[in-house]
Structure 1
């Protein structure tokens, strides 16, 4: 292996180790930064529609609305999770009924008790509880970071300008501009399309009378930020609980099919027009990125995988020795498409 390749692997391993060790602080800050970019993007779009509106007032109103939505979403998630816990005894009984219909090759019947003997549920429950506690603390830290990022925005911009001027050239400025533009576009597109999918899914779930339909709509909205497989994974929850709630398979099938019809329409007709060339990441690279960031930061890493990978691609493209990595990440082989326009 060449000296450059060895150096890249060493630096990559060191960076991954630091990201993992300091994950408790880094992912809340990264999420707060992404949310701050989203708020700025939404406020700028409102100002373009209403040019006579005061920019600072629009920014404050947008920040309050987004913050309120985040708090309300967290409350809805907690309420939905508590309802699921309350209904757990009835759900476990229903699962036992469904498992009794399955006849394994060796004879006998399946049950939760039999499955629990084969799978150690204790460590899984402890790990799940720890993840929930870490996520709760992380979201609280995210809101704190977001507050300080928003109120310190003018000072941060001045400091960045001074750093760029001190280093000379446009390299750092170009990376920052493209990174923020890429993250802004990704968050805006995924938010709009995610809302469309969530609303359409809510209609399908309310149509069959599924309990906690708002909770599951929020789950699908959040999973829509995960590339490729997000909606597929998000649809499993409401489909499973429809299977448990209703005596027949029809409502569960209607929920599953309804969610994927809406997702297919949005993904094939709406998303390509909104996406354009703003998310120049190869699908295979997207899956690899989601896997790597999930290993480093858990579920928040999966949520932030594409924005972070976009920023990484633009950064690597500025260095001749590392540009090949950015080319592999990109979808069309050109990680800096704006250079042609410039």
Structure 2
């Protein structure tokens, strides 16, 4: 028994590393499929209801059109907000460079020599290149989401046949876990996106109100950035707090004013992220904060910006399926799955969903 455990542990580690390497190098193939499955889980109830009154292809055309429209509106808002901020940063490049040089000199006077190393790699030219890199990544993301939409189109047509093939190919218990578990996962993902969207809108609105009240330039743009980045847990809110703070330091040229902006933004993020959202989400989406942070960093490393976004939905799906297996349920409970997600409650909860 001891020998078996001694072998299982290193083998499990090697398998995990192999899977991670495979996901990293196959991102161009696997990532669009993951994105498509996520979107299918969100829009399937609309497709299902439309199919009751319309031909399948007509219902599919309506759903795909709505999906593209949502992508277009969201993309336009993001491009407007980040574009305006980027142009403003480029226009004020000399001022930001001067402030950076002053801060570097002050730190060096106080014995923090590492700023000299920073100065060799960080200046406004570096910032310009970074902004250009962001623009290039946005163009790449457009192509990525176009591929995702193709998978969504095909996937919506295959839900019924795939369900029947699973039932025919697998034994009753396994098929039931896959089908019902997938239904429960889809329901959780829909709730996750609804709550995340509402909280993001609330965060963006409060950031806009705070920036307006404090006289910070580009208040609407900062609100848009806060709204957008709030879809990425931990990392997004951090960036949405740091960027306006640095901009406030350059605009007001006052540490006190920048600190007020920083404190106000952190208060907003804390109240919404640590108090309001957990109470709105309830136990159904309860996940260990450690596991959320781990998922965000892991998938962002594997798949970049898209991975940072999809990391938490993947974690939700993984924990939901673990909760259906009696041998893996301990992992789901340990990392925060609801007590009502076990095999005993699966039929009742999944039967109430549309997928």
TM range (shorter): 0.7 to 0.9
Identify the residue that residue 90 of structure 1 maps to in structure 2: 95
What are the superposed Cα offsets for residues 109-146 of structure 1, whole Å, 9 maximum, x if unpaired? Answer: x8987742377999999888667634531342213422
RMSD of aligned residue pairs (Cα, Å): 3.8
**Displacement of 1:236 after TM fit?**
0.6
Identify the residue that residue 351 of structure 2 maps to in structure 1: none
Does the aligned pair in 1 maintain the 2:323–2:337 contact within 8 Å? no
Q: Tell me the distance in 2 between the aligned counterparts of 1:192 and 1:121.
A: 36
**Displacement of 1:202 after TM fit?**
1.0
Superposition pairs of residues 147-226 of structure 1, within 5 angstroms: 148-149=151-152, 151-152=153-154, 154-166=156-168, 167-169=170-172, 170-226=176-232
Q: Tell me the distance in 2 between the aligned counterparts of 1:91 and 1:229.
A: 24
Identify the residue that residue 300 of structure 2 maps to in structure 1: 294
Q: Tell me the distance in 2 between the aligned counterparts of 1:139 and 1:26.
A: 17
Q: Tell me the distance in 1 between the aligned counterparts of 2:282 and 2:83.
A: 36
**Displacement of 1:190 after TM fit?**
0.9
Q: Tell me the distance in 2 between the aligned counterparts of 1:118 and 1:152.
A: 46
SS at match of 2:216: coil
More helix by proportion, 1 or 2?
Answer: 2
Q: Which of 136, 147, 167 pairs up with 1:133?
A: 136
Does the aligned pair in 2 maintain the 1:204–1:254 contact within 8 Å? no
Identify the residue that residue 339 of structure 1 maps to in structure 2: 344
**Displacement of 1:180 after TM fit?**
1.4
Identify the residue that residue 352 of structure 2 maps to in structure 1: none
**Displacement of 1:186 after TM fit?**
1.3
Does the aligned pair in 2 maintain the 1:197–1:259 contact within 8 Å? no
CA 1:38–1:236 in structure 2 vs 1: closer, same or farther (change >3 Å)? Answer: farther
**Displacement of 1:158 after TM fit?**
1.6
- Please identify, of 235-244 and 279-288, the stretch whose mean Cα deviation from structure 2 is larger: 279-288
Identify the residue that residue 21 of structure 1 maps to in structure 2: 25
What are the superposed Cα offsets for residues 16-65 of structure 1, whole Å, 9 maximum, x if unpaired? Answer: 11110012343344334434444557x59xx9xxxx9xx95984674354
Does the aligned pair in 2 maintain the 1:313–1:335 contact within 8 Å? no
**Displacement of 1:270 after TM fit?**
3.1
Q: 5+ residue gaps in structure 2?
A: 349-355
Q: Which of 51, 66, 69 pairs up with 2:70?
A: 66
**Displacement of 1:200 after TM fit?**
0.4
CA 1:214–1:147 in structure 2 vs 1: closer, same or farther (change >3 Å)? Answer: farther
**Displacement of 1:324 after TM fit?**
4.0
CA 1:289–1:188 in structure 2 vs 1: closer, same or farther (change >3 Å)? Answer: same
Q: Tell me the distance in 2 between the aligned counterparts of 1:123 and 1:319.
A: 50
Q: Does 1:234 align with 2:236?
A: no
Q: Tell me the distance in 2 between the aligned counterparts of 1:29 and 1:214.
A: 34
- Please identify, of 291-300 and 320-329, the stretch whose mean Cα deviation from structure 2 is larger: 320-329
TM-score normalised to the size of structure 1?
Answer: 0.79
CA 1:15–1:135 in structure 2 vs 1: closer, same or farther (change >3 Å)? Answer: farther
Q: Tell me the distance in 2 between the aligned counterparts of 1:125 and 1:80.
A: 12
Q: 5+ residue gaps in structure 1?
A: none
**Displacement of 1:221 after TM fit?**
2.0
Aligned residues: 331
**Displacement of 1:307 after TM fit?**
0.3
